[in-house]
Each structure stands twice: as structure tokens, then as C-alpha cells.
Structure 1
Amino acid sequence: MIAVTLGPEGTYSHRATRAVADEIDFRQSVTEIVDAVASGEYDRGVIPVENSIEGSVTESLDAVAEYDVAVVREIVTPIRHALLAQRADFETVASHSQALAQCRSYLESAYPDATLEAVASTAKGVERARDDPTVAGIGHPDNAGDGIEVLAEDIQDQTSNATRFFALAPVEERSEAGGKTSLVIYPNANYPGMLLELLKPFAERDINLTRLESRPSGTRLGDYLFHFDVDAGLYEERTKAALADLEELVPNGWVRRLGSYDIEHVVE
């Protein structure tokens, strides 16, 4: 099995993907990854979905709403950020925007004059630090070596920092088995109490919603779709009944079942 994730080697996405496949290729954006899986080019794709400090990765939410793919697994991994550089008198800190945000308090306190530069991935920032002595990167401490060293470890603002990743597969591999389900709902409507109506089918059947996010539909200003995660599998009768009610509530829209899956915690 070949999987694709955010590159280059050494990203947190890369570390999570090692739990899915031994052979791994890389792309530079989440949308490219989801597109590659939807087209059948790859067996699996791994994308970050949510961080415990900074919240959801909006590009991932938008991509799974746009492309028809299956979520077949959730991987949760702790995020241990280290400051990596050739020397202590650097001028710029380069990393993924999420990593910079997750270390905001440390950077403001320890390096208030440093310029923050958002790059495509944490590994790209580490590469910049390895090539340029005026640049520091933020990444896993295992990325040290080859000219750069760890200046500080565990610099994230919260010690409980962790990220959820989705393992994606082509749509024909979508499963109803698993303890958790992800859905995308597009009501194509807007009226008082609409969201309450969308939630009631789950509440009435004692199905716990673990996440609810709204994202612009891209169709027109003020038009939204919703991402639901629920603690129930699609195989369960209560879930089937809730979704039947939900579809009746959105006659002009749609409900997409991304799939049911189990959660795996990966500690590295």
C-alpha cells in the first residue's frame, strides 16, 4: 500500500502516516492529497484535521467536502515542538502557520524580535534552518542533525498538544463499521432554528456529537455547510434513523457520509 501526505520527510503528517503505510509519497498541499486519493492515484492519504490548541485545519475540511473520498481511520498523535537552528542568534523562525501559532507564547517571550515566516510544512522550516544560519525552524526534535541542533524542546503553549489526522481512501472503500462517523451536511437553506433542527435527530437518539463546524459553501456569501463528528457507527440502527430524518430536513441540499472508523493513538 502506498500513502501520500504532506511533505517533505520529517513532518508530523509523515510521522502519522507511518502508522498507515511503509511506502509514502509527498505533496505540498492538503487539497493535492485529497485529489490524488479521490482520483485513485493513491491507496491512502493522510491529512491533519484538528489540533488541540489551534482547532480545525480549514483546508482539510474544505477538501473532504469538495472531493468524494472515504475516511477510514483516525490517527491521534502528540505534537512535541522543538526550536531547531544552526546557532542561537537567528533572525527568522520559519514553520507551518499552525506550528507558529501553537508556539506563540514561547516565541513572543523568548524571541520577541524574531520575524515569523509561514512555510508549507514544519519540515520545510527545518530545511530552511539547515540551509540558512539566520533561520530557525520548529519541528519534532528528531529532525535535529545535519548542521542544526535543538535549542529548546517542548515549546508548544500547551503540554497536551495533539493533532487528529484522517486516513483517507477512495470512496468505494467507505465503511459503515467503526465507533465514530464523520458527516458533511449542506442544507442549502437558512432560517431561524435550522441548526437546532439538524441537531435534534441525534439528540433524540442519544448520539453524542463530538465536533460541529461550519464552513462557507463557496456558493454565495452567508451560505454554509456543516461538519459533524458523532460517536456512533453508520451500521447502527439509531444512526441510520437519525440520517433518514436529517435528509428529510434538507430537501434542497445533501448529506455526505464520509464513513465510519476507529481511532488509533500513535505515540512517537
Structure 2
Amino acid sequence: MRTVTLGPAGTYSHRAASAVADGEITFRESVYEIVDSVAAGDFDRGVVPIENSIEGSVTETLDALADLEVSVVREVVTPIRHALLAQTGDFETIASHSQALAQCREYLEANYPDVELEAVASTARGVERARQDDTVAGIGHPDNADEKLTVLAEDIQDRTSNATRFFVVAGPDERSPAGGKSTLVVYPNENYPGLLLELLQPFADRDINLSRLESRPSGERLGDYMFHVDIAAGLYEDRTQEAIADLEALSPDGWVRQLGSYDVEHVV
């Protein structure tokens, strides 16, 4: 099975993908490109980050899931252990993914307040920069250390419980109604007092727990939003389909996208 994720090799996305892939893993430089390549049928599976316990949702993933026709077939949760890696202790720049830099904000402000922070495409790309340039340090998993890079500090994330959820995406024809969780994207194409309450009521009426609710700009006009919803119920359940029918009735000029149901796997 052909799998694509965020590269280069050594990213946390790569670690998550390695836990679920049964074949070769290919890398891309952006989340949108990963989802787009799966939607186009170039790959069977894509592994993308959806939410971090410190920094929250990954907006690029939310937007890609709303824009492109794919399904969510699995969720992988993995702990995030950040380390500072460099050739020496004397460096001028710390490079990593913007999420990783944000997750280590307290450590960086306390220990390297005058060092320039550089956001790059992935944690592995930052480590690669550090491997090529002794004036650069990278933030990534400590397993990225080698004969050239030394771990200067481990577990530098602001919270020891730091973890990231990853979605495994597939083509739309692989959407499954079976699983303990489901993800929906709702675009009501409306804006009036009480709209959000009306959109949530169908779940409350049927005792369906919402595990995540995010709003994102629709891109159509200022102040117009779509909603990403994770629920603790499967699409196979009558109560879920009844709730979705209510959402569709509330969105006659919009749409409700069912990304699928899936189970959650925790990996180290």
C-alpha cells in the first residue's frame, strides 16, 4: 500500500506513518500536497497531523479536509518528545516546524532568548539544517541524533503530556461507517443568532458527545465559517444519521461532509 506523509525522513509524521504503513513511505513538503495526492489517487494512504495537545488544531489539515474529497479511515495518537540537537553548543539559529517551536516556547525563552528562531517545513527539515550547518540547531525527536548531531537537551516541550493526533486519509470510496469516532465538516452557508446552538442541538438531543469542534473561515466572505466536528459515535448508528439529517435540514444552501468513522490507535 502506497503511503505518503510529511518529510523528509525523521518527522513525527514519519514515525506515525511507520506504525500504520505496510509498504514504502513517500514524503511531501506540505500537508495540503499530501491530502491532494491521496484525493488524486496517487497514493493509497496519507498520514497528516490534525491536533496537538499544546498548540491545538493544525489549520492546514482542516482546510485540506474541507477542500478535497478524501475520507478519514484511522486515527493515530503518538507522544511528542522534543529534543534540541546541534553539532556544538555554539549556534545562532534554532530551526524547526512552527508547531514544534511553539510547543517549546517556555524552554526557548528561558534558555535561548537571543537566538533566532526559524520556522521550516518540518522538524526533520530543521534537523537536516542543523546537520548541514554548525551555526544551526534543530528541534526534533532525540532519535535523530547521530555521529554528527548531539542531543543538547531532551523533553524540552512545555508539557510532558505533549501528544499529537494524526489522521490516516484515503480516497472517498474507502469511507467507512464503522468505528468509535466520526468526523464531519459542516458548512451551513448561514449566519444568524443561535445558528451554532441549532447545529449542536441534534447531537445533544441524541446523547452524542462532541470530542472536538473547530470553526474555520469558509473563504467565501468575511465572517462566514465552516465547522469541523469530531463525535464519539459511528456513522453506522441510527442516532448519528438522524443528527446528520437534522444538520442537512439546517443547511439547505450549504453542505455536510461525512469524512468517515474510524478507531483510534496509540503508538509510541
Query: TM-score, structure 2 length as denominator?
Result: 0.99
Determine the C-alpha separation between the residues in 2 that align with 1:49 and 1:191. 29
- Matches of 2:100 and 2:114, distance apart in 1: 18
Q: Which amino acid aligns with 1:17?
A: A
The one-letter code of the counterpart of 1:249 is L
Q: CA deviation at 1:55?
A: 0.3
Partner Cα distance (1:24, 1:2) in 2: 7
The question of 1:47 aligning with 2:48 is answered: yes
Q: What is the alpha-carbon distance in structure 2 between the residues aligned to residue 89 and residue 253 of structure 1?
A: 55
Q: Which amino acid aligns with 1:213?
A: E
Q: 1:98 aligns to what?
A: 99
Q: CA deviation at 1:146?
A: 3.6
Q: Matches of 1:239 and 1:92 in 2, distance apart?
A: 50
> Residue 78 of structure 2 corresponds to which residue in structure 1?
77
| Counterpart in the other structure of 2:14 | 14
Kindly tell me the number of residue pairs found equivalent between the two proteins: 267
Q: What residue number does 1:117 align with? A: 118
Cα deviation 1:69-108 (Å, max 9, x = unaligned): 0000000000000000000111100000000000000001
Residue pairs, 1:50-69, within 5 angstroms: 50-69=51-70
Task: Indicate yes or no: 2:8 matched with 1:4.
Answer: no
Where does 1:71-220 land on structure 2 (aligned, <5 Å)? 71-220=72-221
Letter in 2 for 1:203: A
CA contact (8 A) 1:180 1:262 kept: yes
Q: Is the 8 A contact 1:184 1:227 kept in 2?
A: yes
1:33 aligns with 2:31: no
- 2:191 partner SS: coil
Which residue type is aligned with residue 72 of structure 2? V
Q: Read off the aligned partner of 2:89 and give its amino acid letter.
A: A
Distance in 1 between residues matched to 2:106 and 2:64, nearest whole Å: 30
Shift of 1:199: 0.2
Q: 3-state DSSP class of the match of 1:88?
A: coil
What is the SS of the residue equivalent to 1:14?
helix
C-alpha separation in 1, matches of 2:258 and 2:183:
7
* Cα displacement (A) at 1:23: 1.0
Cα RMSD (Å) of the superposition?
Answer: 0.5
Cα deviations across residues 222-267 of structure 1 (Å, max 9, x unaligned)?
Answer: 1100000000000001101111111101101000000000000011
Provide the C-alpha distance between the structure 2 equivalents of 1:246 and 1:54, rounded to a whole number of angstroms: 29
Q: Measure the CA separation in 2 of the matches of 1:112 and 1:201.
A: 49
Q: How far apart are 1:4 and its partner, in Å?
A: 0.1
**Alpha-carbon shift at residue 19 of structure 1 (Å):** 1.6
Task: Compute the displacement of 1:32 (Å).
Answer: 0.4
User: Residues 3 and 20 of structure 1 are in contact (CA less than 8 Å); yes or no, is this contact kept in structure 2?
Assistant: no
Deviations 1:118-171 (A, max 9, x none): 000000000000011110000000000141110000000000000000000000
Q: Which runs of 4+ in 1 moved over 3 A?
A: none
Counterpart of 2:51, as a letter, is: E
Q: Which whole-Å CA distance do the structure 2 matches of 1:217 and 1:64 have between them? A: 12
User: Secondary structure of 1:166's partner?
Assistant: strand
Question: How far apart, CA to CA, are the structure 1 residues paired with 2:147 and 2:30?
Answer: 26
TM-score (norm 1): 0.99
Matched letter for residue 179 of structure 1: G
Aligned counterparts of 1:205 and 1:166: Cα–Cα separation in 2 = 26
CA contact (8 A) 1:212 1:228 kept: yes
Task: State the SS of the aligned residue for 1:123.
Answer: helix
> How far is 1:179 from its partner?
0.4
Q: Do the aligned partners of 1:71 and 1:258 also contact (CA within 8 Å) in 2?
A: yes
Give the superposition deviation at 1:2: 1.2
Identity percentage of aligned residues: 75
CA contact (8 A) 1:130 1:146 kept: no
1:132 and 1:37 mapped to 2: Cα distance? 34
